[in-house]
C-alpha cells in the first residue's frame, strides 16, 4: 500500500482456508526490526490449554531446538526472548491458565543480519526453521 502503509506485514499458513487462529499455525512476517518465522498459538485457539499441556509433556519437541530459537508471548508487540527451559515453562503455564495468553515459537532474522547478503542462505535458514517446527505443529493439532 502506498497510502498509510502498515508498519509490518505477515502471512498465516494453516490447514484451514478460513479461521487460521482456531489452531496452531505458521506465520511469516516482516517487522521494521526483523523478519519472523513463527509457530503461533494466538487469539485463543480451540484447545489452547490442551496444546500447552502437550508441549509441557513433550519437552523434547522444543528442548532440542537450536539455540537461536526464540519465543514471543504477545503477537502485537515486537519483542521476543530466547527459548530456554525456564522461559518456555513460564509461557506454557501462562498459556494454560490465562485466557488471553499467546505463544509463538520460532526464529527472527534482524534487519542488519548478514544473512540478507545471501538470499539462498536466508531462504535455507527460513525453510529449516519451519521444518524444525513441523513435528511440533503436528503434535498440537486437535481434531
Write out the three cell numbers for 16. Answer: 484451514
Helix 48-57 to helix 119-140 angle (10° resolution) is 100
pLDDT digits (tens, 9 = 90+) for 52-110: 999 999 999 999 999 999 999 999 888 999 999 999 999 999 999 998 899 999 999 99
- What pLDDT does 27 receive? 94
Tell me the pTM: 0.90
- What pLDDT does 81 receive? 97
Beta strand spans in 19-111 (E): 25-30, 34-41, 70-72, 81-82, 103-110
- What pLDDT does 111 receive? 95
Amino acid at each position: 500500500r502506498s497510502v498509510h502503509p502498515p508498519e509490518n506485514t505477515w502471512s498465516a499458513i494453516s490447514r484451514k482456508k478460513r479461521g487460521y487462529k482456531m489452531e496452531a499455525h505458521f506465520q511469516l512476517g516482516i517487522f521494521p526490526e526483523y523478519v519472523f518465522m513463527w509457530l503461533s498459538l494466538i487469539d485463543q485457539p480451540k484447545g489452547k490449554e490442551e496444546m500447552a499441556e502437550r508441549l509441557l509433556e513433550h519437552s523434547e519437541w522444543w528442548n532440542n531446538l537450536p539455540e537461536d530459537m526464540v519465543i514471543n508471548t504477545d503477537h502485537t508487540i515486537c519483542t521476543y526472548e530466547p527459548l530456554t527451559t525456564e522461559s518456555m515453562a513460564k509461557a506454557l503455564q501462562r498459556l494454560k491458565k490465562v485466557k488471553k495468553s499467546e505463544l509463538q515459537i520460532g526464529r527472527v532474522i534482524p534487519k542488519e543480519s548478514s544473512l540478507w547478503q545471501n538470499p539462498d542462505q536466508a531462504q535455507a535458514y527460513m525453510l529449516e526453521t519451519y521444518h524444525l517446527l513441523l513435528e511440533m505443529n503436528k503434535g498440537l493439532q486437535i481434531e
